[in-house]
Amino acid sequence: MAIKVDVDTLEGFRQGVPALLDILADQGVQASFFLALGPDNSGRALLRVFRQEGFLEKMWRTRAPALYGFRTMCYGTVLPAPLIGAAAPELPRRIAAAGHEVGLHGYDHVRWHDHLLRLPAAAVAREVGLAQELFSSLLGRRAVSFAAPGWQCSEPSRAVLAAQGFLYASDTRGATPYWPRFANSVSRLLEIPTTLPTLDELLGFNGCRPQDFTELILTRLQSGPPQVLTIHAEVEGGPYRQEFARLLKRCRRQGVDFFRLEDWARELLRDEAGIPVAQVSSRRLPGRAGRVSCQETPERKPV
Ligand SMILES: [Zn+2]
């Protein structure tokens, strides 16, 4: 299983990441971190209440103010948006030094999440370029991996990532690695989707408790292809860190093999013809507000 850590906010970066580094070190697990390094505009996400079906329900069910904190929910509205990367510039190197993968989770998480499908390619290229600039200034190299905020990707966003030389992306929800097909083209950038539901989606859904989520993940790991679990620095590195530590401990006991997405991508790309093509569609998922980019059934046809 790969642990994909999305870091969306200043709070998640400063508080959640160090907590997760400790838990991962305790269990000897290497993960893949994806950082949004630009402005924390989390407060603007509140405007989704008026736009997105299911957002208010999710806010209430996951008790979002407790998860994210009152301050975070004001950034970009009544409080200015702080720059995430600048708040702890030493932290990305610390993540890498512990043996984890470090990739990008966009520049302005809220802008990408809420507006990607309306952004022209030049604006998407600017977002990725700004993120790369910050990444390079902090780590002394360019990022090779990208995970789209809110699992939002488009034909132009994939073209931008491919043109900027990324090795692979993890932009969608799905079952297996693939080449994403869009209306006019097949992306030549390998996609490794998130395969498992997330804790914040299932929490409170049909009475789901954190321990029920752990059991569900353990059951899913017992068979089938390698799985990708997305966690959030603000959630599993925040109020649910003990449950996350318990999950890793149980996985270890069950003999689950952990790998980093970048290593898996390099292995997969040794046999490009063996990777299937699959259509990308925009769908609703249980427990998640709005729509996300999803993999359809693979075509089993090499590109
Ligand atoms: Zn995110």
Q: What is the pLDDT of residues 15-74, one digit of tens each?
A: 999 999 999 999 999 999 999 999 988 876 666 655 566 666 766 666 666 666 677 777
Quote the ligand 1 centre to 182 CA distance (angstroms).
23
Which is nearest to 6 in space by CA: 86, 112, 81? 112
Least confident of 4-8, 46-50, 100-104, 174-178: 46-50
pLDDT at residue 206 in the model: 80
Quote the ligand 1 centre to 105 CA distance (angstroms).
7
Quote the ligand 1 centre to 59 CA distance (angstroms).
15
Residue 141 has pLDDT above 60, yes or no: yes
Confidence of residue 284 (pLDDT cuts 50, 70, 90): very high
Contact at 8 Å (CB) between 232 and 198?
A: yes
Q: What is the pLDDT of residues 179-228, one digit of tens each?
A: 999 999 999 999 999 999 999 999 888 888 999 999 999 999 987 789 99
pTM above threshold 0.85: yes
Quote the ligand 1 centre to 113 CA distance (angstroms).
8
Quote the ligand 1 centre to 25 CA distance (angstroms).
23
Quote the ligand 1 centre to 273 CA distance (angstroms).
31
Quote the ligand 1 centre to 98 CA distance (angstroms).
22
Q: What is the pLDDT of residues 93-139, one digit of tens each?
A: 999 999 999 999 999 999 999 999 999 999 999 999 999 999 999 99
Q: What is the DSSP string of the chain?
A: -EEEEEE-SHHIIIIIHHHHHHHHHHHT---EEEE--SB--GGGGGGGGGTSTTHHHHHHHTTHHHHH-TTGGGBTTTB---BHHHHSTTHHHHHHHTT-EEEE--SSHHHHHHHGGGS-HHHHHHHHHHHHHHHHHHHSS---EE--GGG---HHHHHHHHHTT-SEE--SB-SS-BEEE-SS-B-SSEE--B-S--HHHHTTGGG--HHHHHHHHHHHHTSSS--EEEEETTTTTTTTHHHHHHHHHHHHHTTPPP--HHHHHHHHGGGGGGSPEEEEEEEE-TT-SSEEEEE--------
Quote the ligand 1 centre to 149 CA distance (angstroms).
4
Residue 159 has pLDDT above 80, yes or no: yes
